[in-house]
Structure 1
């Protein structure tokens, strides 16, 4: 599949992040969206075969809007400069965790996984409890060579192990976290290769066990009704 229009559009949007330019280039936007949705569709098909927790879904239900909500932001730029999608067991909901893709030209694209949403205190507690109880399993997952060669566990973290957890636990550093996520950077050159979707799924496959651990911990999580 072609990704040229998608990358070119986002590169130009970076230089012209304004509504007038956006509406004057609506046809380019439509073509770029079509390319991204085609990519997401390919990823869904392949991920369904790789991970039984992923169910078929229309790309439009998995992608995020380009329009930014600027009401509470000092940055009033009207548009995000990336195409983004989350392919999880419940679509683009952040929990259960799934597979995330961000396409942003100039070396800012990545393939992601894990729990990005540290605003959910209940989810944070569930994962901490799971790491505390099953630390050996967590250690095996994050030190498995295929995983470790691609990922370092990221996430916002406290300075100290929170009260109620053993500060001398072998996984104490991860008990400090409020979120646990992965990012694998991809270049523009990799995105335009002939079968980027297959490449992406090979990377996603290496984070399957990590996602599985988190989703096991989050099995009883209820998304808040805001």
Structure 2
């Protein structure tokens, strides 16, 4: 386990703002030490501190500083926007510690916003089909999960929701189930005050959010184990 998370450096967000004006490898290399000290190293500490906490709580989410964080460099090969650097840094904690696993905690620290999400994001086609089928076949379980999220101050996002019911689900008549079946992802988010990322209490904020979002994790995991027939 790495160092315990003590907070992002006070220069974390100012560095990301400055990066927007200095989109060059030369500037980044000149300021790499600041990036490492204020952002990358604390983010690694955060991932590994959360891994330890989640392990103790049995949440089934883990990561490490090498595999869990996304690069700050952008893949510009097929992008119209050729700026080489993101103005954010992010990481995923997942059941197996990889970025490709499903049912994850995503943490994003950026100039535009800071947030965390518990997500079944772009689930593989067979899992998405199973989730949609479970909503229809076992509606009480879906509604119980949604109610539990609401009781915990959370809601499911409607991000990128389909306009129409997908093929095979055209007969779903109940409004709440129809909305759910049209989801392409199953996500709940927590907005983070950037002022709160600079101390160890940020760990407690993320642990609290993940516990409140656990009904969504549990719902998806149950479907993985026992998909509708």
Which interval holds the TM-score relative to the shorter structure? 0.7 to 0.9
What's the offset of the Cα at 1:24?
Answer: 1.5
1:155 is matched with which residue: 135, 145, 159? 159
Spell out structure 1 runs of 4+ moving beyond 3 A: 145-148, 218-221
Show the counterpart of 1:130.
134
Show the counterpart of 2:58.
51
SS, match of residue 59 in structure 1: coil
SS, match of residue 103 in structure 2: coil
Q: How many residues matched? A: 218
Cα deviation, 1:77-114, whole Å, max 9, x if unaligned, reads 111211111101022334321111001135x0101011
Matched, 1:78 2:84: yes
Matched, 1:102 2:117: no
Show the counterpart of 2:147.
143
Distance 1:14 1:34 in 2: 21
Show the counterpart of 1:117.
122
Relative to structure 1, is the Cα distance of residues 75 and 22 closer, same or farther in structure 2, using a 3 angstrom cutoff?
A: same
Unaligned runs of 5+ in 2: 1-5
Relative to structure 1, is the Cα distance of residues 2 and 144 closer, same or farther in structure 2, using a 3 angstrom cutoff?
A: closer
Relative to structure 1, is the Cα distance of residues 74 and 220 closer, same or farther in structure 2, using a 3 angstrom cutoff?
A: farther
Distance 1:131 1:200 in 2: 28
Relative to structure 1, is the Cα distance of residues 93 and 209 closer, same or farther in structure 2, using a 3 angstrom cutoff?
A: same
The normalised TM-score by structure 1 is 0.86
The normalised TM-score by structure 2 is 0.85
Aligned-residue CA RMSD (Å): 2.2
What's the offset of the Cα at 1:147?
Answer: 4.8
Equivalent pair of 1:105/1:188 in contact (CA under 8 Å): no
Equivalent pair of 1:111/1:186 in contact (CA under 8 Å): yes
